[in-house]
Structure 1
């Protein structure tokens, strides 16, 4: 059994693959994959996912964000819906990176405009 045959790296690879795909197709590769930790959450108060800037730090003291998708969604939602949750949180990441993010937990006009341009 190779390490990729176990559930943890398989799930991590799935999240990274989704992020990389949408980053290339929708965000022109502008989101830094090295500045975000992708994970699943079981937090009951989270509906579909969240983006939390500056949640972690790397060994060099650089801030890392957390982008998390609710694991419940894997059983209850389609791949299309899971993908839309990922893109939703990536818009939050894009806004934070560009310095245009609104208050935490809210969608400002720029977020709504960007989501509409992406077809949401």
Structure 2
């Protein structure tokens, strides 16, 4: 790939910081203090929150960490990346404004806050799942505050530009920049269809798990959820 003048570090972390600031104002009334956002390839997790993880040597202060796993940035819809960020921001909100449960436990206060901001907690990631527990997923509530805030964010042309070319096993994507190991495109989860009207964004939804994503008109998007078996996202009217 030809070199560009873009600073990848500033761009990648700036995008995550911009999303943090947007959701903090739109969903949490600005109550969450600034934290240090990092990218960590933690196995079997999209992200995590760690309170007071970093210390400032000069000012003798501490700050929280919100970690995002870039291994999944290229294989899940943008909506799921943003859901992960807000999921972890809810942990940050609870740490500063509520009463967190024991380490790793998602309690009722956290679940109630998630639902209030438009993300339904579910241990299965689908309707009907348990709302509290050790390992929790979530799904966006249609027309809820999170979806409204996300629509506003995406109208600014927000994007997650950089992603890990080598995602976890079972979620491989096409080697769109040329692959050193010679893999073909058979594993691609996002493939452009012939050009059409690209002036507006369209909303797509997985018919299996209900995950939603916005993109240019004429995209073929296959769900990365293993249970959905690469179901094609459908355009939402």
TM-score by length of 1: 0.89
Asked if 2 retains the 8 angstrom alpha-carbon contact of 1:41 and 1:71, the reply is yes
Per-residue CA deviation, residues 30-66 of structure 1 (Å, 9 max, x unaligned), is 1112xx1001111214x11000001111131111111
Residue matched to 1:64? 63
Q: Secondary structure at the match of 1:76?
A: coil
**1:8-19 map, 5 Å:** 8-19=9-20
Q: Distance in 2 between matches of 1:52 and 1:85?
A: 14
Measured in 2, the distance between the counterparts of 1:23 and 1:86 equals 11
How far 1:14 sits from its partner (Å)?
A: 0.7
Q: Which has the higher helix share?
A: 1
Matches within 5 A, 1:1-120: 5-33=6-34, 36-45=35-44, 47-58=45-56, 59-120=58-119
Structure 1 residue 101, shift from structure 2 partner? 1.0
* Secondary structure of the corresponding residue to residue 38 of structure 2: strand
Structure 2 CA distance for aligned equivalents of residues 105 and 73 of structure 1: 21
> How many angstroms apart in 1 are the aligned matches of 2:32 and 2:16?
15
Contact 1:37 1:64 survives alignment (8 Å):
yes
Q: Is the 8 A contact 1:49 1:89 kept in 2?
A: yes
Question: Partners in 1 of 2:103 and 2:95 — Cα distance?
Answer: 10
| Structure 2 runs not aligned, ≥5 long | 120-237
TM-score, structure 2 length as denominator? Answer: 0.47
Measured on the aligned residues, the alpha-carbon RMSD in Å equals: 1.3
Give the Å deviation of 1:99: 4.3
Distance 1:69 1:112, change over 3 A: same
> Once superposed, which parts of structure 1, at least 4 consecutive aligned residues long, lie more than 2 Å away?
none
Contact 1:49–1:67 under 8 Å retained in 2? yes
Larger radius of gyration: 2
Deviation at 1:118, TM superposition (A): 1.4
Q: CA deviation at 1:6?
A: 1.5
For structure 1, the 5+ residue unaligned runs are none
Between the two structures, name the one with larger relative contact order (CA 8 Å, sep ≥ 6).
1
Give the deviation of 1:106 after TM superposition: 1.1
